Amino acid sequence: CTPRYVIGIETSCDDTGAAVVDYHGNIIGEALNSQTRIHVEMGGIIPIIARDLHKQNITNVVDEAIKNAKLSYQDIEAIAVTTEPGLALSLFIGVNHAKMLARKYRKPVIPIHHMEAHALTVRMVERVEFPYLVLLVSGGHCLLALAQDVNKFLLLGRSLDDSPGDAFDKTARQMKLKNLKECAGLSGGAAVELMAKTGNPKSFQFPGVLSQNRDCNFSFSGLKFHAKSLILQEELKQGIDGGNVLPNVGDICASFQDGIVKHLVHRIRRGLLYTELKQLLSEENKTLVVSGGVASNMYIRQEIEKLCQHFNCRLVCPPPKLCTDNGIMIAWNGIEKLKREIDLVQVNDFDEIDLK
């Protein structure tokens, strides 16, 4: 039988991404234009600038994915595109482009929820059956959900304030880690992980977070604030100023990282207990998927693994490349929907694809 392909288009935040994926989860062609560097220079994402950059790049990125796949648009079965959640101005560029292509080539459009796509990506590379628990931890996301089916998710918890990646990045900046040559070119989180290896996690006590809350929500602003005041206190005590880095930076990194891990583990434990109580996960096939940039932290993985062993639960982490925003996860989510024949919107019904 002829191979079946879906193209995925992602413009929900600061990456213009497109990819062609086949029915078996093979990545046939991909292209990505990241705006991160420009936004870092501007000190944050400015929606109008993000929109203009998506607009400038969308045609090239999508055409390039098709070209890399050595296919033409005629060979594509459907066009999957992120329709929510995200920056409305950015989403609009991707959705509009998808509709334009669909009209031109008479293909259906498959609307995709960005977070659901993140949660499903793992199934492209590993045998993971529904239902499973999924933790998304990155610079933009923090949530714990139960994936029950391709289009059925139960949100158990989310961050009430910052993302864990943001807490890592701001704390790394406060410690001026990028002035250390061993941290050059690393993200804030990777720099903290590296320096933490030289320190003792018991050096400083970080407060427990939401320990009385009987839900699975997260909060990182308290840990971030605690780290900030600890660093300022230590700098004052040791007479450090300017671009100099504290000599005990390893101990601070190790203790901060441990504080983050304890919070994550505590909330996942509650999630596992809840699903056990409600019998939402199969007893013999319990799986937790941890995805997102922060999931590349080996200390975090190791501590979550310990918890999983206790609950007789399998831990699966997709490769880092598939954890970040890209067209691949959107295309794969499209394939998953195509297989079930759900959510295919035909050209005549485009009014149904509304941005939420």
| Residues within the interface to ligand KG4 (CB under 6 A) | 138-140, 165, 168-169, 187-190, 193, 292-294, 296-297, 323-325
Q: Which of ligand KG4, Zn ion, none does residue 234 bind (CB under 5 to 8 Å by kind)? A: none
| Comparison of 27 and 295: residue with beta carbon closer to ligand KG4 | 295
| Comparison of 219 and 291: residue with beta carbon closer to Zn ion | 291
Q: Which of ligand KG4, Zn ion, none does residue 144 bind (CB under 5 to 8 Å by kind)? A: none
Q: Is the dihedral of CA 330, 336, 338, 342 positive or negative?
A: negative
210 touches 219 (CB < 8 A): yes
For 27, other C-beta atoms within 10 Å of its C-beta total: 20
Give CA–CA dist 146/280, Å, rounded. Answer: 8
Binding to Zn ion (CB under 5 A): which residues in 36-75?
A: none
DSSP character at residue 177: G
| Comparison of 17 and 165: residue with beta carbon closer to ligand KG4 | 165
| Comparison of 108 and 164: residue with beta carbon closer to ligand KG4 | 164
Contact pattern from residue 267 through residue 306 relative to Zn ion, giving x for each residue in contact according to CB under 5 A and a dash for the rest: ----------------------------------------
CB of 15 to Zn ion, least distance (A): 8
10 binds Zn ion (CB under 5 A): no
Q: Which of ligand KG4, Zn ion, none does residue 90 bind (CB under 5 to 8 Å by kind)? A: none
Q: Is the dihedral of CA 330, 334, 335, 339 positive or negative?
A: positive
Contacts of 98 (CB under 8 A, 6+ apart): 9, 79, 80, 81, 109
Contact pattern from residue 310 through residue 339 relative to Zn ion, giving x for each residue in contact according to CB under 5 A and a dash for the rest: ---------------x--------------
110 touches 80 (CB < 8 A): yes
CB of 91 to Zn ion, least distance (A): 12
Mapped onto helix, strand or coil, the DSSP state of residue 152 is strand
CA-wise closest residue to 156 among 136, 126, 138: 136
Q: Which of Zn ion, ligand KG4, none does residue 303 bind (CB under 5 to 8 Å by kind)? A: none
Give CA–CA dist 207/274, Å, rounded. Answer: 24
| Comparison of 131 and 292: residue with beta carbon closer to Zn ion | 292
206 touches 264 (CB < 8 A): no
Q: Which of Zn ion, ligand KG4, none does residue 165 bind (CB under 5 to 8 Å by kind)? A: ligand KG4
CB of 246 to ligand KG4, least distance (A): 20
Give CA–CA dist 218/261, Å, rounded. Answer: 12
| Comparison of 11 and 296: residue with beta carbon closer to ligand KG4 | 296
3-state DSSP helix/strand/coil percent for the chain, to nearest 5?
A: 50, 20, 30
| Comparison of 15 and 77: residue with beta carbon closer to ligand KG4 | 15
**Residue ranges binding Zn ion (CB under 5 A):** 325
